[in-house]
């Protein structure tokens, strides 16, 4: 599993653009910036939609005031789903919605969650992290169900 001090792996993630689904390299997201990245098990799922993502949307200005350049949300979903979820949640330009459709990024981080027995495939664990110029400086992985250590409020307390 990724640890504090590790560099974010070079991967390609999906995002919706004006021209449709497109790819974005992790270097473009993280290099030269301070980024809060939240990983969620699935778009439109209860805890992700009621607590985790909305908390970061609500705290976007407070996080920016603490030096955060970008808030990004990644899930093992496709770019269409992440775009629709972002619209549903009213993220606007406050959160960059990223798709890890095949789960390669989750696996590269060692933060994948096997939900095969529940019929959900391999997903992200629930987490939040701060990535400063491509290096992980804070890492909060939920130990179980719920959204406590990876919440926006917890992140604000750490910064």
Q: What is the CATH number of the domain that holds 147?
A: 3.40.30.10
- Neighbour tally for 134: CB within 10 Å: 18
2 occurs within a structural domain = no
pLDDT at 15: 97
β-sheet with 12-17: strand ranges across: 20-25, 12-17, 96-99, 70-75, 34-40, 127-132, 135-141
Alpha helices in 34-91 (DSSP H): 46-47, 53-58, 60-65, 79-89
5 occurs within a structural domain = no
pLDDT at 118: 75
pLDDT at 136: 98
pLDDT at 50: 96
Which of 69, 74, 38, 43 has the alpha carbon at shortest distance from 56? 38
Total structural domains in the chain? 1
pLDDT at 117: 80
pLDDT at 122: 76
1 occurs within a structural domain = no
- Neighbour tally for 128: CB within 10 Å: 27
- Neighbour tally for 110: CB within 10 Å: 13
31 occurs within a structural domain = yes
Phi-psi region of 49 (alpha: psi -120 to 50; beta: other; left: phi over 0): alpha
Under-50 pLDDT residues of the chain: none
44 occurs within a structural domain = yes
Cβ atoms 138, 9 nearer than 8 A: no
130 occurs within a structural domain = yes
3 occurs within a structural domain = no
109 occurs within a structural domain = yes
Residues of the domain holding 48: 12-158
For 79-122, how does the pLDDT look when each residue is reduced to its tens digit (9 = 90+)? 999 999 999 999 999 999 999 999 999 999 999 987 768 767 67
Catalytic residues: 48
pLDDT at 113: 83
pTM (predicted TM-score): 0.95
**Cα–Cα distance, 46 to 153 (Å, whole number):** 19
pLDDT at 116: 67
């Amino acid at each position: 599993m990724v640890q504090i001090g590790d560099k974010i792996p070079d991967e390609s993630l999906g995002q919706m653009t004006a021209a449709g689904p497109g790819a974005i390299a992790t270097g473009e997201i993280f290099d030269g910036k301070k980024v809060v990245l939240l990983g969620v098990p699935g778009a439109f799922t209860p805890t992700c939609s009621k607590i985790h993502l909305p908390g970061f949307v609500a705290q976007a200005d407070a996080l920016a005031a603490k030096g955060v350049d970008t808030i990004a949300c990644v899930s093992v979903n496709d770019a269409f789903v992440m775009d629709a979820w972002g619209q549903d949640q009213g993220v606007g330009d406050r959160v960059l919605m990223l798709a890890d459709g095949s789960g390669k990024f989750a696996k590269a981080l060692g933060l994948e969650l096997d939900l095969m027995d529940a019929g959900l495939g391999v997903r992200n664990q629930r987490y939040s992290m701060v990535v400063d110029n491509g290096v992980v400086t804070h890492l909060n992985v939920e130990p179980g169900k719920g959204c406590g250590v990876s919440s926006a409020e917890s992140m604000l307390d750490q910064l």
